Structure 1
């Protein structure tokens, strides 16, 4: 299942300095990794704009970025609240048996006994291990433990097989 939907990786949360830099709230693991992706597709309401990232850094606990064509504080302020998206082909390739969460959203989930549980709605970090949120006739939270609760993931078929009691 080759998904070309865009992936929301962050949001422009403020301005930094007077030369047009923006503060970024990053959803990436290692928040400064958001700077590795360029161009960004910025979206707010029905507006979209593609911008190239020309510089950036971690400034204390905040990621700041310089975007091509934005040269002063007023221009930067006009992008506050815009969401930052990238395309899946901008992501590095993953190793076998590794997945981006965005690839798992929407997969049909069934037990190893063939019982349909629903679809992957989201994933969540809990501290101990990640969990898969499955929505069907009801919501289920299944630990993301490959080889244990997660038996197989077939992105091409759009399916995840789990070892899970459907009554649980």
Structure 2
């Protein structure tokens, strides 16, 4: 299972809930045929009756939840999909889940660290590398631009090579 969102708080008195979507375009979360949430023991289908965007907030209405009190059961629940429901990607496209924890090397095969997170900015994504290559642990931020900063990506080996002209490394 793969986390693609989170229910964050109730909205109004009629049982609507506000969610955060981790998909690239926020409303694409609803393109997946089945969404799930996790109870203590298992995953259950999240039966969404309706959804809407209101004042830049994504709201859902869950079947059989008609008031704010009943909706509170779902607070802070994560929203999941099955990994197999992800669409196939084109060449040089990657899911963030595949990039996180990749080991990063320069072209001289010097280990720089592991990718801990990806920061989404309008112009490009930025990878955050946790490193010990300088006297103390620190974070290096590099734009995730293939052929400009990123030389090679091998998802199977969880290895990424960055170009050497990043002189600060």
Confirm or deny a common fold (TM above 0.5): yes
The alignment of Structure 1 onto Structure 2 pairs a total of residues equal to 162
- CA RMSD in angstroms comes to 2.5
Q: 1:33 aligns with which of 24, 28, 32?
A: 28
Deviations 1:96-145 (A, max 9, x none): 11111121001111111111111111111344432111112132111211
Instruction: State the TM-score, normalizing by the size of structure 1.
Output: 0.79
8 Å Cα contact 2:151/2:163 also seen in 1: yes
Which structure has more relative contact order (CA 8 Å, sep 6+)? It is 1
Q: 2:10 aligns with which of 14, 39, 43?
A: 14
The alignment partner of 2:156 has SS state of coil
Distance 2:3 2:73 in 1: 22
Distance 1:83 1:48 in 2: 13
The verdict on how the C-alpha distance between 1:70 and 1:48 changes in structure 2, with shifts beyond 3 A counting, is farther
Counterpart in the other structure of 2:86: 91
8 Å Cα contact 1:110/1:117 also seen in 2: yes
Distance 1:21 1:128 in 2: 33
8 Å Cα contact 2:4/2:29 also seen in 1: no
Instruction: State the TM-score, normalizing by the size of structure 2.
Output: 0.79
Matched, 1:24 2:10: no
Shift of 1:93: 1.9
The verdict on how the C-alpha distance between 1:127 and 1:60 changes in structure 2, with shifts beyond 3 A counting, is closer
4+ residue runs over 4 A deviation: 46-49
8 Å Cα contact 2:107/2:163 also seen in 1: yes
Alignment of 1:71-86 (within 5 A): 71-86=66-81
Deviations 1:51-105 (A, max 9, x none): 2334322234222223344344322122122222333323222211111112100
